[in-house]
Amino acid sequence: MRVAWRRARADLWPLLVTVLVVALTVGLTDAVPRLLTSRSDAAVRDAVERADPPADLVVTSTYGAGMSNPESGEAETRAGVDDAAVRIQQAMPRSLRPLLGPPAADATSIDLTLSTPKVPSGGVLWMTYLWAGGEPAVRWTSGAAPGPGADGTVRLGLSGAVARVLGVGAGDRFEAKKPDHTVVPVLVTGVFEPQDPHDRVWAARPEVLEPRIVGPDGAPTTVVAGLLSAASLPPARAALEPDGVTRTFRFPVDARALDYAGSRAIVQKLAALESSPDRLNAPGPEPRLTTRLGDVLTQARQRVSATWSQAMVVLAGLAGAAVLVLLVSADLLARRRSTALRTLRARGRSLTDIAARSAAESAVVVGAGAAVGLALGAAAARGPVTWPWVVVVVVAGVLAPPAFATVTAARSEARRVPTDRHRRRMAQRVRTVRRLSVEAALVVLALAALAALRHRGVVSLSGPADLALAAAPVLVAAAGALLLWRAVPPLLGGALRVARRSRRAGGLLALARARSTGAVLPFVALVVVTTLVALCGALAGTARAGQTDGSWDSVGADALVRTPTPSSTLPDVAARLAAARGVDAVAVGRVQARANLFDAPGVDTVRVLAVDPRAYGELLARTRFGAAPQLATLAGASREAATRTEPGPLPALVPTSLVGAHPSLRWAGVTVDLAPVGPAPALPAQQPDGSSAAPTVVVDRTALAAVARAVAAARAAQTGVTLVGPESPVADPDTIWAVGPGAAAAARAVAPTGADVVGRAQWLADRRADPLAGGLLALVALVALVCAGLAAVVVVLDAAATAPDRARSLATARVLGLRGRDAARVATGELLPPTLVAAVGGVLLGVLLVGAIVAPLALRLVTGQAGDPGVVLPWWAVVPVALLTATVVAVVAVESSARRRERLGQVLRVR
């Protein structure tokens, strides 16, 4: 015991390095999966909470034609709506019940057109019965709640706001028309105010409380809803025969009850329910279950799964790097103890005994490191230990020292290079064949893992069997390191040839030692950890740059204002926005996400951007898309078309594949011939909702309106049918883009009511605050930091392993007349070249690796882009090169300092 302790104390710092490496790796590989689990749950809940429209479960059912009885009274309403909601809730699968809040139900009419004093035309009326555990609580300001009536008149109540818009009051009558123009007489029995306008009962039909105006400015439509009571619903149903009322049972989803682990089963259960809604005991002939919950959960699961897999790739890399560092550390220990080990062996100690003693020591050391790591991991995130990578690191840490000790002890001290040239060559060939076999096997394994990863993608990684797949990058790094290692001797050999021809000693001494003393294990370890730093750097850089690109692709400017319908007032809004402080450029336009295109090979649907080309060009020039001279060309070509009264081709910028074609665009009910004048410039590639934009056609908005009207007029002259009148808003804008530091704030200030304002900075901030993306980037940065530290540790360990020979060699050179400072240069020249080759090679490997796996890693799910992001290497990914150079310089300085304390005459004495 005392001997073991003395031996450990003599090699304290390599053992402490082992403890540190094990603790850091175990801590990270243990804690990160638990942290990810918690972030995954948060991500799933966040996705459901943010779902727009909501991810509620909605059961709809009709009553069936001829199933109404105007005199059935409120009992039938209770049974058909209120009680049905409760029955459906009770019929919900047990696994879904905890997720679902109390149901809300409504029975709502089809769209009816109405005519009242204030809305003689252009009004849409819904008659609706609402229930959410009870009918809505209201205060009747005039009249009373609607009651039964068998005279064919539908009785309903109106909210004060709706009554004012329609210009009716309690006791007034007006007519509503069904789609078949059948008249339904309506009696307003009372006007009410809601006791709680935020009560969930109103959520199903908010138009009961607040009229909604839709459609273009020139022809708005007023949508309102009237409130039926349980008693007035049966006569309403009778008036709306056949089957003019639909029941909707809405079950809100409580996101807090969701977690990632259970979401898969929920998705499967929802799919089963959607295909067989009969299980829900819903009333009516053909009940249907619809919900976005399945899609929302599937998308969230996909992102979580991708993030997990990305994290697993990073953790696998970290574990692999740690294992390599532990091997290097074990090698150093065995070298430092080589004399003692050989002495033990010479005195008859068995190899098993030597291995057991070494294993006992390493078990204590690695156990201590693992305990510290697990404690750190538990402090970071509570939960059961995540074993896979922890086991890998601990097993490698425990087994490596006895393995190296055994091999060292087994080697004969008298082992020499055979003097016989033939035997020397044979031994060399055997070593070469053995090495080539190992290298070839590793290269094949790495390529197979990489090919599998590229083929399957990380999103499909699901279980422990895929851990090997997650280790593909580290395997590729190791294989690349071996190949690079093969390149080092020729490189050093070339430099050595030059040094041999020189007059000086320094280069020869340094390079001869570098070439002869380099060991493959530290080199591979150094390349792998450097590759991982570059890989993490490139992942982080690519993700962040991709997020920025994604913000431009989604928003298209610093601020985006969209109105639900085209509005002729937007140019005025744009003018106010342009005058605001901090706004550099503004463009207004019409964006049609999908429009049909004819006579266009390979393209049948396009996105149409109808803009003022000059203004939009000036705006684009201030974005990352850059200047677009094609827009100036379009502006020039469209000048004549903007004043055209006769049909003719419309100048357009089209997808590159369509330049030279003669496509036609379907627009506002007419077909417009396009005259391509050039390719469309680089444009935002995504719709604001994140979906990928179709190929884009850019036209002059004024010219589009003129040409469409001219075509419509010509057609009207032929057919007598007027589709587009001279005042029709065929190309009214619905979008304003603005750039400038104050664009977002100014857009919010001037945006019309109901318009959607999106700020690019906010979009980016939201994306970066995402728990998954943020967590992944934090992990990547942390692992990069740890790997950079590991790289420095490898350099120190490698230098320590060769330090005695180097000291002896330099002492000899100093005895021969080499000056002290020149000795430091020789030491630097010995250590630095392989280190730099490893560092630079590792960085290049990391970048190549990211290029190869950026698609299968599904980084687009992190960046929010429609396509895979381009690889970006941040400046700090090359820090390892500087760090390792600095480490070498520090090691040489420490060694030089130690040499100064050493008496030169003693170095060459018999040992």
- Contact residues: another protein, CB under 8 A: 416-417, 419, 500-505, 508-509, 512-513, 515-517, 805, 809, 812-820, 903-905, 908-911
Q: How far is the CB of 859 from another protein (least distance, A)?
A: 47
Distance between CA atoms of residues 864 and 854, nearest Å: 14
Which residues does residue 421 pair with via DSSP β-bridges, in sequence order? none
**181/900 with CB nearer another protein:** 900
Structure tokens at 735: 């979008």
CB burial string 412-451: b at 16+ within 10 A, e below: eeeeeeeeeeeeeeeeeeeeeeeeeeebeebbebbeebbe
CB burial string 452-489: b at 16+ within 10 A, e below: ebeeebbbebeeeebbebbbbbbbbbbbbbbebbeebe
- Alpha carbon of 672 to those of 303, 579, 596, 649, 695: distances in Å? 42, 35, 11, 7, 18
Q: Which residues make Cβ contacts (< 8 Å) with residue 496, sequence separation at least 6?
A: 508, 511, 512, 515
- Closest CA relative to residue 16, chosen from 898, 875, 796, 908: 796
Q: Is 245 helix (H, G, I), strand (E, B) or coil?
A: strand
Residue 357 phi, psi (nearest 5): -65, -40
Q: Which DSSP helix (H) or strand (E) runs through 233?
A: helix 233-239
Distance between CA atoms of residues 405 and 344, nearest Å: 11
Distance between CA atoms of residues 511 and 826, nearest Å: 9
Which residue reads 């298209």 in tokens? 556
Residue 909 phi, psi (nearest 5): -80, 165
Structure tokens at 226: 């009237």
Distance between CA atoms of residues 875 and 348, nearest Å: 56
Bridge-based pairing state of the strands 670-679 and 650-654: parallel
Q: Is 690 helix (H, G, I), strand (E, B) or coil?
A: coil
- Closest CA relative to residue 102, chosen from 257, 205, 253, 297: 253
Q: Which DSSP helix (H) or strand (E) runs through 528?
A: helix 520-555
**697/826 with CB nearer another protein:** 826
Amino acid identity, position 224: V
Q: How far is the CB of 488 from another protein (least distance, A)?
A: 15
Amino acid identity, position 266: I
**282/514 with CB nearer another protein:** 514
Distance between CA atoms of residues 55 and 46, nearest Å: 12
CB burial string 208-240: b at 16+ within 10 A, e below: bbebeeeebeeeebbbbbbbbbbbbbbbbbbbb
